[in-house]
Structure 1
Amino acid sequence: MRALVFTGPAAVELRDVPEPAVGADEVLVHVAASGICGSELHGVRTPGFRVPPLVMGHEFAGLTSDGRAVVVNPILSCGSCDVCRLGLRNVCRERRIVGVHRPGGFAERVAVPESTLVELPQGLGWTAAGIVEPAANAVHAWSLAGAPAGARVGVYGAGAIGLSCLLVALSGGAASVEVADRSESRVEIARRLGARSAGAALTGEYDVIFDAVGAAVTHERSLALLRPGGTAVWLGLADPTAGFDATALVRGEQRVLGSFAYTDADFATAVETVGEWDLSWVRTFPLADGAEVFTTLMNGHDTPVKALLSP
């Protein structure tokens, strides 16, 4: 079968690979849509967390061999530790991720544990199904922030995660959402999706700020623009540097929360809601064009905001 394979630093190739071996308690999924994540673009440029050769792809949906339309929750956890028992499988100390620690969805077919499958509502299209995973990240971040209806919300980054945060906040009753991104084309998309304002920077004061970039400067600004007692939720992984004034954090009684992935409940909420979203910022490409699309995005091209690959 064909698969897009991460073969080395800054290199992905379309290759013929062996058919997946389907183990006990596993299911073969015929992939219909698999999203390219910003973390994968970064991971291919600077290998470390992802080790080549690897078929990546942790955001995917498709059909099982018995005809069920499913999306895959790629987080694999032990299920028995203290954290898992609290319902926080996403931060299990032993967690593994489909597409990172085992072959993922950048292929015609992939074998996954039956427990990862979430059946799709009837009529949900593959474009929406392919965006469930990043949407779940935003649902989780909104929940961590307290789902504050009436809040003034700022978002750093208008990639798939940032736009998902915008859409989740608007549907959750935020009074206003403003978005900052260096890309004018992405800023324009944010405006079209309902951002009160969008541009190269956030200005003013906010109750909640989502940092979907994760650079030292956005860390710093996400706190500088918070009201006293406000909450910054960091989702981005661009830079490990914190970059903020800890004394100001204390004096303003502000909160910084890390947000990693999602709970099972967040994932289910995303499945239920993405069908209502304007997804004109998502484009689907044939898997055969995957290497070209991936490389173009990896080299800094800002469109499309979200690329899905389909065999």
Structure 2
Amino acid sequence: MTGIPDFWLRRGLAAYLLWPLALLFRAVVGLRRLGFQSGLFRSQRLPVPVIVVGNIFVGGTGKTPLVLWLAETLRARGRRPGIVTRGYGGSASSWPQAVTAQSDPAQVGDEPVLLARRSSCPVMAGPDRVGSGLALIEHHGCDCLISDDGLQHYALQRDLEIVVIDGKRGLGNGFLMPAGPLREPPARLRSVNLLLSNGGPSAWTAHHFSLRLDSARQLVDGGTGRALTDFAGQEVHAVSGIGNPQRFFDALRTSGIKVIPHAFPDHHPFRSADLEFADGHPVLMTEKDAVKCEPFAKAHYWVVPARTELSTSTRQTLEACLEHCLSSR
């Protein structure tokens, strides 16, 4: 699957046929959360502030670039942040795994390697986020933690919850899985500290940010860079194995690029055959995909980094939330 089912974005026959299963899923989700709130399931508070960045929508909403922005902002404040992440797609036999810029994405997952390279922060991957957080504190002296995509991991208590939604897709048809794209009911958004919309203001929140693509870098040996507008008017193969490939394709088109789209499933384990196009056109890809394509990179492969841009009011609100989170501990 290279995206989400169409019926997850609008209510139709398929969604209503699956609605009874969505009710069952909702009951399980509610009982699980109640179990953590009541103390039936163990939830641990770590000795440093924990910031969770997550969503209730399955698939990509732009969390990872926001995590990188938070890490950069915290480092600029003189803090020593560490990043906790699931390591989805990694095949390591033991967890947690310390992730560096040189780690193998096949072992630890693609997003952890991207986070390690871009954040200059220690990164720990594994399903046990409490264990990963304790390892970052013990071995790296981290004085605050960012949990990437950790909203539903209630075993780790948090001081600040930030939820990201897609400004275009919103909450889809509003149903929980499998009738819709939601992991938790929409009412869950009322309990978070800050709700951000990726792509502009939305019906759910006025706080928003956007992901800006303005340059490309040759994948071979981290080669020379080019302005994205240099590709304007050209046909390029755009390769994307992220949660919402269409966002990447649309962003390239805003620079006047003639995009030939190639959408792959999220976390796709790329092989050289996936990028063998006969016409020799440039191949542009996301950073998340690039970490898996480096072993077979060619001169016409280009990686396009995404940069987070926040509105002035959103930046002020987010910085105020960070200040309260850090000072309260």
TM norm structure 1: 0.31
Structure 2 length normalisation: TM-score?
A: 0.30
More helix, by proportion: 2
